[in-house]
Structure 1
Amino acid sequence: MPERIRQDGFSLIEMLIALMILAIGILAVVTMQVTSMRNNALSFSRTEAATASQGIIENLMSRTFNDSLLQDTNGDGNAGLMDIGANADFSLSTTTNNITHQFYWNISKNDPVPNSLTIGLTVQWSFSGTQRSFSMTQIIGQ
């Protein structure tokens, strides 16, 4: 009987299984990368909104107390600090980096502290088809 020659190496099935495991691993990394990119873009849009909001607040803080942009135009005081749309005291729309931000701010006088103004600012923008918003409040003394 002829002697069988032993062959070293991988069989075709072992190679297919190894390639399948590698493909699943690469797919997981690609999925993780796409999710990371989406979350980075969302963080960027939030940072843009926060930075622009802070700029508006600083602009308002540099004005005198009797400036027309620091008046409670609808008289709702502290109860209306976070009003948006037609109920807001003031609004402004800007576009930066292809993101349109809609800003609404409201003024409350002498509440909670006498001789002060409370500014409530809300910014809205759309990201990936979802409406996002960010709000901040600032009290300034006379």
Structure 2
Amino acid sequence: MNPLKEKGFTLIELLIGILILAIGLLALAHMQVAALNGNYSANCMTVATVLAQDQIERLKILPFNDPALEDTNPDNNNSLSNPTDADSLEHNDPNNPIDERGETAGLRRYQRFWNIADNTPIQGAKTVVVFVYWGAIEANGLPRHRVAIPTIIGQ
């Protein structure tokens, strides 16, 4: 037999080809998992944004002196949009924790709060920041992820 005239693959060439294919498939599987995690995170953020906007709309139709619009913690007005712990949140949704529809049924993984600052930015106005939290609880007592939407309500 003349080795120059032999046709086909050797076992080593076949194993190297399978190894390269396996590495490519593992990389593809890893990218798929990353895409699924990204989609889940985006969905949670979208739901949280809708829940926050829904609460803003509910607060806007309340009378200006409604208890839900009281500034019960004036000390937090400088950090209204950035609460440092659970104690710096003034009002909480009585239905907490809530689901994607803002109800207490189903998978309840969101928590909704809001802070109020009277006469900010001008006299006769209230700055309202609505927060929706979700995820694992951190050392400061707040869940890891959040959406914060500010608005101003006037008389």
- Give me the TM-score of the superposition, normalised by structure 2: 0.77
Alignment of 1:114-125 (within 5 A): 114-125=123-134
| Letter in structure 2 aligned against 1:126 | G
Aligned residue number for residue 153 of structure 2: 140
Distance in 1 of aligned mates of 2:92 and 2:47: 18
Distance in 2 of aligned mates of 1:10 and 1:77: 73
Return the index of the structure with the highest Cα Rg.
1
Distance in 2 of aligned mates of 1:38 and 1:112: 39
Q: Which runs of 5+ in 2 are unaligned?
A: 101-106
Aligned residue number for residue 114 of structure 2: 105
Aligned residue number for residue 9 of structure 1: 8
Distance in 2 of aligned mates of 1:60 and 1:89: 14
Residue 43 of structure 1: CA displacement?
1.2
Residue 51 of structure 1: CA displacement?
1.0
Over the matched positions of the two proteins, sequence identity in percent amounts to 34
Aligned residue number for residue 87 of structure 2: 86
Residue 137 of structure 1: CA displacement?
1.1
- Give me the TM-score of the superposition, normalised by structure 1: 0.84
8 Å CA contact 1:121–1:135 kept in 2: the answer is yes
8 Å CA contact 1:88–1:106 kept in 2: the answer is yes
Rate the CA distance shift 1:80–1:11 in 2: closer, same or farther, 3 A: closer
Distance in 1 of aligned mates of 2:29 and 2:108: 27
- Decide which moves more: 99-108 or 76-85: 76-85
Q: Which runs of 5+ in 1 are unaligned?
A: none
1:28 aligns with 2:41: no
Residue 99 of structure 1: CA displacement?
4.6
Higher normalized contact order (CA 8 Å, seq sep 6+, divided by chain length): 2
Aligned residue-pair number: 139
Distance in 2 of aligned mates of 1:41 and 1:23: 27
Distance in 2 of aligned mates of 1:122 and 1:112: 19
1:70 aligns with 2:69: yes
Distance in 1 of aligned mates of 2:36 and 2:90: 37
8 Å CA contact 1:89–1:105 kept in 2: the answer is yes
Give the secondary structure class of the aligned counterpart of 1:96. coil
Deviation string 1:74-124 (CA, Å, 9 cap, x unpaired) is 344733524453343211213325352222212112211222111022222
